[in-house]
Structure 1
Amino acid sequence: MKKGTLLFLSSILGATALFKGTRKEDFQYTYMGEGDYWIAQYKIRGNKILRNIKKEFTLIYKGDLKEIENMKELRYIYETTTDGGAGAIFIDKPVKEKYFTCISYDMKGTTKEDEEILVDIKWERDTKTTEKFYIRNINVQST
């Protein structure tokens, strides 16, 4: 019984040491940018060793809510050199908010800290409208 308890405690201590050692590998990047109609924010948080990554992509409409209240569809793509994402939101009632957020989790590689990310947005107002712009990490100074 003592050997089992000792083995269990050793396992716990070993796992704790592993996780403490990975704290310095934790990262969080926030990329932001805007076009004429939309502001985009892309947050990435995770750990480089454990590869658990949370991605949060948010679009905020800059104009008056009345301009998009009858919007039926919003599509977006964001592209990096290592990954990216895309989404479509189909709306069947009047829009009540000016922001749209998508959260995902994965274990893939992460976006580079100093990368520019291309955002491509398509939405339906009175006519179909498209906007493209870049977002950049707000914590990295441009050279």
Structure 2
Amino acid sequence: MIKKLSALILSGMMIVLLAACNTTTYKHNYTFSGEGDVWSAEYVQKATEKFIDKKGVRSDYETWFDSTIELKYKGELTDLDKISSFKYSFKGTSGGGSKTLEDVKGVRKSELKSERAGSGAFEHEDSIIKVVVEWDGQKDEFELKVRK
């Protein structure tokens, strides 16, 4: 009898907790891509936005994102051996990043990748990410947009 009563009370408490909190989760998984004359890039983002509505209490809001930007050289790989200075930057509506390579051997791989993750702002479907690649006095600027 006590086991049945305990199970009934526990079930009742679970129902009350579920009724008191309502969670809505949205996924914002996008791939932004674009290219310039010499370089192309792809920015892949996986983001989660969670709204937690607690009746009678202030609602909570949580975000989490994981993103990767990857640059690709469009020319001949042997051209990369001649580069002596290299840096790139990207900026979207939620922030951005930049990287300068002191050891230019990283450029010779023809692909450059940078990853970041955390909570806070993230890119939305209508965002535009501006990319600037600079090497040996040359510059390639272009925009990344969501592939549809």
Count of equivalent residues: 124
Greater strand content = 2
Which stretch has the larger CA shift, 100-109 or 43-52?
43-52
TM-score by length of 2: 0.71
Quote the Cα distance in structure 1 between the aligned partners of 2:72 and 2:97.
Answer: 17
**Residue ranges of structure 2 left out of the alignment (5+ in a row):** 51-61
In structure 2, the residue matched to 1:47 is 48
Identity of aligned residues (%): 24
| Deviation per residue, 1:94-139 (Å, 9 max, x gap) | 8542100000112121112112221111123xxx211111111002
Task: Give the deviation of 1:73 after TM superposition.
Answer: 3.4
Residues 108 and 96 (structure 1 numbering): CA distance in 2 closer, same or farther, change over 3 Å?
same
Cα distance in 1, alignment partners of residues 65 and 119 from structure 2 = 6
Q: Structure 1 residues 18, 64: closer, same or farther in 2, change over 3 A?
A: farther
Are positions 1:137 and 2:146 aligned together?
yes
Runs of 5+ unmatched residues, structure 1: none
**1:117 aligned partner:** 129
Task: Calculate the TM-score normalised by the size of structure 1.
Answer: 0.73
Q: Name segments (4+ residues, structure 1) moved above 6 Å.
A: none
Residue type at the aligned position of 2:69: F
Once residues 22 and 69 of structure 2 are traced to their aligned partners in structure 1, the CA distance between those partners, rounded to angstroms, is: 30
Q: Is 2:95 aligned against 1:83?
A: yes
User: Alpha carbons of 1:51 and 1:71: their partners in 2 closer, same or farther (altered >3 Å)?
Assistant: same
Q: Distance in 1 between matches of 2:101 and 2:49?
A: 31
